[in-house]
Chains A and B, each alone.
Chain A
């Protein structure tokens, strides 16, 4: 079955440091890939997405590129802020499931703490 593997956390960085959170996946076909973010005490929010190979999703300074050859979708940000402290989840959905009722498969989540 489909699966998503994220780098182990937690990750602690100083403000303005470079961030990479690794995500690799196993799936048949060409899934759509997502990064969700969960701020303390809140539900998950979509951060960015990519639907085909070599697509780059970007939002709020975060980027991730869909790499089919390495089955990866690593999240990056050039300069993190204290407000980026949150839990980040990588997720996928099969291409054939891109309709109502499609089921996301999530990674374990990576806790990011950014210190001033």
Chain B
């Protein structure tokens, strides 16, 4: 069972470059989420999608955009990467609770 799959697993960018993080789930869940994880701050919600065709801002949306391409896929885009966006990014999906998480994308911006 694949569950939630994130690509890539690691990425290094230069400041100002753009990047799209991909997420796909095979559990037929309606809701999908993007979080970032920083030391000492837990997980903070960037954007979420309650259902196909809808997206909403979370706690820290600035500098990011999302696309709910279909029910399976939810991508996160950094249009102009900044060093402050160096983090581990997690995608999750759910149908009610609990949320199921991918293994993360470790992103470094130099």
Contacts and interface: CB of A to CB of B under 8 A. Distances in A.
A58 B105 CA distance: 30
10 contacts: A4-B42, A32-B97, A34-B98, A42-B104, A49-B97, A98-B97, A100-B30, A100-B51, A100-B95, A104-B99
A49 B94 CA distance: 15
Interface of B: 4, 29-31, 33, 40-45, 48-51, 56, 58, 90, 92, 94-99, 101-104
Contacts of B44: 106
A108 interface: yes
A32 B94 CA distance: 15
A73 to B, nearest CB: 15
Main secondary structure on B side of the interface with A? loop
A45 B97 CA distance: 12
Given A100-B95, A106-B43, A44 B51 contact: no
A103 interface: yes
Contacts of A45: 101
Interface string A30-63: 0010100000011111100100000000000000
Q: Which 5 A-B pairs have the closest CB atoms?
A: A101-B50, A43-B101, A106-B42, A46-B98, A100-B30
Contact of A43 (B31, B90, B98): B90
A107 B103 CA distance: 19
A102 B90 contact: no
A32 B99 CA distance: 13
A107 B40 CA distance: 9
